[in-house]
Amino acid sequence: MKQSWDGKDLRDMFAAGSNWLEKSVAEVNAINVFPVPDGDTGTNMLLTLRSVIEEADRATDATVGVMAKAMAHGALLGARGNSGVILAQIFRGMAKGFDGKAQFNGTDWAAALVQAAKTAREGLSNPVEGTILTVIGDAAGTGQQYADKHPDDLVAIIDETVKEARESVARTPTLLPVLMEAGVVDAGGQGLYILMDGALRYLKGELEDLQFRKPQMVSANITATTNVHVISSDEEEAYGYCTNFLLEGTDLDPEKIRRKLEDRGQSLVVAGDETAVRVHIHSYDPGGILAYATTLGTLHQIQIQNMDDQHVGFKEMQRQKAMPMEIAVVAVAFGAGMIKLYESLGAVVVKGGQTMNPSVKEILAAVEAVEPDKVILLPNNKNIILTASQIKELTRKSVEVIPTRTMPQGITALMVFNYESTLEENIQSMTDAVKSVKTVEVTTAARSTQIHGLKIKEGQAIGIIDDTELVAAGDDVQDVFLRSLDKGGVSAVEMITIYYGADLQAAQAEEVVRGLKEKYPGKQIELVSGGQPHYFYIVSLE
C-alpha cells in the first residue's frame, strides 16, 4: 500500500464518490424535509460535484495543492442550492489544507478535513446542528484523532471518518426536531456520507461494488415520535424565495457580504474569495438582494425559486414515496456471482439459463410471488424468450417481456430501471439500453461440427457473439477469448466487463485482464466473478 497520493488520486477519489452518489440521488432528494424544502439536495450536490470534476479534469498540474484549488473553484462555480454551496465551502477548506503540497498522506488528509469542516461552518450566518455541518465536523474530528495514532495509513483514516459520518447521519434526528418528528435523517448529511463512502471504496479497490451496487441509505437511529414540538401547519413559517447566484468582481469581501445580508433572509450561505462569491439565501425580497449584489460586481447563474410552491411539490413527493412499489423485475440468471449481482440490482431471480431452461410454471410462480401487479421479465436467453412470453396469458398481472438474450443485456437493462417511472417508460429505456450491449461468450463445444467454414471439434473452446454468431474455436481458451473479443469489435467500445465462470480461478482471469489493459490502455475494464457453469467467460461490450 502506498503512503502518499497526488492530485490525480484526489480527483479520482471524488469522481468515484460522485458516481456513487448519482445512484442514490432520488433517495436523497426524497428525504428533504420541512422546514428547509430547499430544492433537491441530492440533485444539487451531484450537479455541484460534476462541476468539481470538470474543473479538476482541466487542471494541468497534478500536485494536490493545485488540484484541490481547481476542485474548489469548480465547486464554487457550479454550486446549486444550500447543500451545494456548503459543499463548495467544504472543498474550499480542503484546498486550504492542501495548499502548497505536492502529495498528501493520512495526516494531511485529516488536517484538510478539519479545515473543511471549519470553513463550511464559517460560511453560514446561522449554523444549524443536525445537518451536513454536524456530519463533516464529526467525521473530521474522528479522522484527526485516528491520524494522531496512525499518521501514515490514509485508507484506515478515511475508513474511520466514513464510519463516523454514517453514525453522525443516523444521529441527526436527535439534534434537529423536525427530523425527529419525520423519523428521517438529514439529506445533506446523507449525501456527504455517500460521497465519502464512494471515495473510500475507490481507494480500497472495490470497483465491482461501485459499478454494480448501490449505496445503502442511513436510517435514523430513532423512531418517529410526536413527543417533540415541531412547527404545526398553522405555525409554518413562509420562506419566500430561494435565491442563488454567483457574484464575480474584484476585491470582494465574503465576510462583509455575509454581514450585509444576514438580516435580509434565512438559510444564508456565502462562499468564495476576492474574485468570486456564491450566495444562497431564502428571502421575501430577492430583487433587493440582487440589486445590492450588482453594486459589487457581475451576477451569473441566477436562480430564484418560490419556496411555497416548492413545499407543495415536496408534500406530493412524500405522498408518492409512501406509496408501495408498483413495478417488479423478474430475471432468469445462473451462476452464484451473477445471481448475487442481479439480486443486488433489485431483481427477483429465477435460477436457470443455458442447459437448465426454467419452465413456464417456475417463471409464473416468481411473477405471482412478487407484490406489485406490474412485472418486467428479463429472460436473458434466446431459448427462454418464448417461455417468458407465455406468462402474460396466465396471470392477472400486467407482464411485459424485454427479449434479452444474454445476462449482460439483462444487467444493463436493470441499471437503467427506475422505480419512479411508469411501466411504459421503463420498458422503453430498458429496451434502448439493451441495444447498446454486445455480448461475447466463451464455452465448450458439445460436439464436432462445421459452421460457416469454421471447423469445430468436440471439447474445444468456442466463442459466440450475442448468443447467435459463432466466431472462434480452438484448444486454447484464452486465445479463443481474445479472438472472440476482436470479432466482437472490442477496439470500438468504451467499457469491457468480464464475468469469469466457475471453471476458472481468479488468478487466471486477472492475468487475462492485465493483458487487455496493456493492449487497450484507454478502456475501462472490469472483472467480476460470475460463477457461471459451462461458460469460461461472459463479456459485456458497451
pLDDT classification of 307: cutoffs 50, 70, 90: low
Q: Which of 39-43, 65-69, 492-496 is predicted most confidently?
A: 65-69
Q: What is the pLDDT of residue 367?
A: 94
The dihedral through the CA atoms of 45, 48, 54, 58 has a sign that is negative
Q: Give the pLDDT confidence score for residue 425 in this predicted structure.
A: 92
CATH of the domain at 511: 3.30.1180.10
Instruction: Give the span between the Cα atoms of 241 and 281, in whole angstroms.
Output: 8
> Is residue 234 assigned to a domain?
no
Copy the grid coordinates of residue 333. Answer: 440468471
Mean pLDDT of 467-482: 90
User: Can you give the pLDDT at residue 368?
Assistant: 93
Mean pLDDT (whole number) for 9-25: 92
Residues 348 and 366 sit within 8 Å (Cβ to Cβ)? yes
Residue 442 has pLDDT above 80, yes or no: yes
What share of the chain in percent tops pLDDT 70? 90
Beta carbons within 8 Å of 1's beta carbon, 6+ residues apart: 153, 155
Boundary of a domain, candidates 281, 316, 351: 316
Which of 434, 458, 477 is where one domain is finished? 434
Backbone angles phi, psi at 30, to 5 degrees: -70, -15
Q: How confident is the model at residue 323 (pLDDT cuts 50, 70, 90)?
A: very low
**What's the start-to-end Cα distance of the chain, in Å?**
32
* DSSP structural state of residue 356: B
Cα atoms in the 13 Å half-sphere on the side-chain side of 251: 1
Kindly state the average pLDDT of the residues 295-324.
66
Segments in 284-435 forming alpha helices (H): 286-294, 307-322, 336-344, 360-369, 382-389, 407-415, 423-434
CATH code, 350: 3.40.50.510
**pLDDT tens-digit readout, 197-231:** 999 999 998 887 788 788 888 887 654 333 333 32
Phi-psi region of 100 (alpha: psi -120 to 50; beta: other; left: phi over 0): left
Q: Domain for residue 227, yes or no?
A: no
- Same domain for 309 and 356, yes or no, is no
The verdict on 429 and 442 lying in the same domain is no
User: What is the number of domains present in the chain?
Assistant: 4
Highest mean pLDDT among 96-100, 484-488, 515-519, 521-525: 96-100
Note whether 344 and 421 are same-domain residues: yes
* One domain, residues 52 and 167: yes
Computed over every residue of the chain, the mean pLDDT equals 85
Residue 310 — pLDDT band, cuts 50, 70, 90? low
CB 63 within 8 A of CB 102: yes
The DSSP line for 386-410 is: HHHHGGGGT-SSEEEE----SHHHH
Q: Are 104 and 98 in contact (CB under 8 A)?
A: yes
Q: Indicate if the pLDDT at residue 516 is higher than 90.
A: no
377, pLDDT greater than 90? yes
Average pLDDT over residues 258-266: 87
Picking from 207, 218, 220, the residue whose alpha carbon sits closest to that of residue 175 is 220
